[in-house]
């Protein structure tokens, strides 16, 4: 089986490259290969591929910057994935697309179900909703996989930021009233590879959730990072209102992942195990 993957250096794309199983090959497209701000170019790449399935692991991820550059974010996260999905539908090959917990308003304390209404609180979330709707409208075999709080040994993420700051400072103030599931990029990559194989063999896609367990807060996640890395930096939990950002963040990012487990037999990852693996790689 052969895959076409949009993305090459991001967290999930990097892990997809590293974790390709025997018998599966992939072409990875970076910024030099295709401009994600050009939906037509993305569609043409798909039209010319001989791949059995396409994974979109590329995205505009600068959440705060999207507040002032929403049109650009929507091109990358909305129009281009929609064009990819349409081209895949025309070729009758599966299209797998990564989305986010930020499509939800983030109120309450109940885990959000895939079928719950979307109501994003920031421009980034709106751009991802735009992409989800376009992908579904394409009408082909598609999987939209919403995830949250992605971390790895690569790129920019919360774990790497905490490690750097924890080595520089004795104390950090971290938000303690936002709840979610940190998700190792390795687990997302494995889930996508498994789902792609099953969809090529005829499995249905749909909208699904996949996030790490157990649910935690950013402050408790930071405390676990410090403890497992052997750092003495103390974490002071603060309210979201004490840490203003250009883009509003949802306070409830809990995701109900049971439907994905039932459909694809993929269990939720324990983020603490994933954190240990990332720390071993970063600190070795």
- The torsion angles phi and psi of 84, rounded to 5 degrees, stand at -60, -45
Active site residue 243: no
The rounded Cα 107 to chain-centroid distance in angstroms is 20
Question: Residues near 154 by Cβ (< 8 Å), separated by ≥ 6?
Answer: 9, 10, 11, 14, 15, 185
Q: What is the largest CA-CA distance in the chain?
A: 56
What is the DSSP code string of the chain? -EEEEE-SSSHHHHHHHHTPPTT-EEEEE-TTT--TT-HHHHHHHHHT---SEEEE------TTGGGT-HHHHHIIIIIHHHHHHHHHHHHT--EEEEEEGGGS---SSSPBPTTSPP--SSHHHHHHHHHHHHHHHT-SSEEEEEE-SEE-SSSS-HHHHHHHHHHH-SEEEEE-S-EE--EEHHHHHHHHHHHHHHHHTT---EEEE---BS-EEHHHHHHHHHHHHT---EEEEE-GGGS--SS---SEE-B--HHHHHHH--PPPBHHHHHHHHHHHHH-
Q: Which of 102, 124, 179, 243 is catalytic?
A: 124
* Catalytic site positions: 124
């Amino acid at each position: 089986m052969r895959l076409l993957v949009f993305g090459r250096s991001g967290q999930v794309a990097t892990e997809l490259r590293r974790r390709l199983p025997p018998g599966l090959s992939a072409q990875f497209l970076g910024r030099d290969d295709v401009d994600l701000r050009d939906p037509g170019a993305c569609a043409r790449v798909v039209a010319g591929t001989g791949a059995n399935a396409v994974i979109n692991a590329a995205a505009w991820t600068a959440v705060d910057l999207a507040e002032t550059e929403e049109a650009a974010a929507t091109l990358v996260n909305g129009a281009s994935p929609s064009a990819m999905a349409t081209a895949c539908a025309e070729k009758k090959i599966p299209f797998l697309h990564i989305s986010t917990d930020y499509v939800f308003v983030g109120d309450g304390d109940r885990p959000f179900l895939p079928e719950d209404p979307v109501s994003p609180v920031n421009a980034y979330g709106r751009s991802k909703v735009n992409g989800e709707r376009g992908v579904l409208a394409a009408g082909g075999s598609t999987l939209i996989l919403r995830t949250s709080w992605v971390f790895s040994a690569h790129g920019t993420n919360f774990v790497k930021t905490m490690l750097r700051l924890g080595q520089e400072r004795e104390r950090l103030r971290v938000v303690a009233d936002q709840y979610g599931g940190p998700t190792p990029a390795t687990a997302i990559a494995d889930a996508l590879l498994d789902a792609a194989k099953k969809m090529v063999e005829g499995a249905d896609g749909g909208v699904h959730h996949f996030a790490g367990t157990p649910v935690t807060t950013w402050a408790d996640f930071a405390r676990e990072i410090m403890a497992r890395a052997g750092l003495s930096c103390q974490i002071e939990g603060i309210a979201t209102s004490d840490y203003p950002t250009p883009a509003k963040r949802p306070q409830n990012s809990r995701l109900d992942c049971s439907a994905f487990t039932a459909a694809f037999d993929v269990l939720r990852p324990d983020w603490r195990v994933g954190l240990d693996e990332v720390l071993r790689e970063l600190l070795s």
